[in-house]
Chains A and B, each alone.
Chain A
């Protein structure tokens, strides 16, 4: 069964610190992986999209990595800010059915001053 699992479920860090969120997937055959940021009560916003040939992609202080062999991805946030407090959702697409996006349940990040 195609699944996307994220860890940790929640994370608390202090402003200015770095953190890394994890995403493991069993989706096959793999097409692409996305990371979304979702502020409380708002729609998700795309951060990065990576295909199997890409190992890393950055968007400002956000850097996503992908290991297609181990089916793992991570999202690294550098020098966290209060505005980074949000849920981060990993989404994977299969090349077998690109109509379907498989969502992880997200990691809830809280950044405190």
Chain B
């Protein structure tokens, strides 16, 4: 089954404790992206990757890191989480980002709480 998986689905942590949220897709997609979603603000892009070893900042990259060492995986790293990073995070993938008729597939989401 074609899908995007994220782990963990729920995470409660404390300020400053490094964490990683994993994202994996099995569709051989070139493009992967991370978003955060907050009430009233909609989805905001954190980082995206056009291919292996190619990453770029989205609209809200501060406080986050990513890596793309393999095509299928795109982990999101919070080196020193802060309470303002409490949010619902989504990973997504597609063959190309905004290409005509290309559909972006989203993962199930990771709800992160930073105390």
Binds A, one of B11-19, B39-47, B60-68, B76-84: B39-47
Given contacts A44-B106, A45-B106, contact A106 B42 (CB under 8 A): yes
**Looking at the complex, which one of B31, B58, B90, B99 makes contact with A43 (CB distance below 8 Å)?**
B90
Complex Cα spacing A3 to B13, Å:
34
- Report whether B109 and A43 are in contact in the complex, using a CB–CB cutoff of 8 Å: yes
- Report whether B42 and A98 are in contact in the complex, using a CB–CB cutoff of 8 Å: no
Q: Once A and B bind, how many residue pairs between them come within 8 Å at the CB atom?
A: 63
- Report whether B104 and A46 are in contact in the complex, using a CB–CB cutoff of 8 Å: yes
Given contacts A44-B106, A93-B97, contact A99 B42 (CB under 8 A): no
Shortest distance in angstroms between A66's beta carbon and chain B's nearest beta carbon?
A: 13
Shortest distance in angstroms between A36's beta carbon and chain B's nearest beta carbon?
A: 8
* Chain B, range 16-57, C-beta contacts under 8 Å to A: 31, 40-45, 48, 50, 56
Secondary structure dominating the interface of A:
strand
What's the tally of chain A residues with a CB closer than 8 Å to chain B? Answer: 23
Shortest distance in angstroms between B9's beta carbon and chain A's nearest beta carbon?
A: 10
Shortest distance in angstroms between B44's beta carbon and chain A's nearest beta carbon?
A: 7
Complex Cα spacing A101 to B97, Å:
7
Kindly list 9 other residue pairs between chains A and B, CB separation below 8 angstroms, not including A89-B43, A99-B48.
Answer: A31-B98, A43-B4, A43-B92, A46-B103, A49-B100, A98-B99, A99-B97, A100-B58, A103-B45
By a beta-carbon cutoff of 8 Å, the part of chain A in contact with chain B is 31-32, 34, 41-46, 49, 51, 89, 93-94, 97-101, 103-106
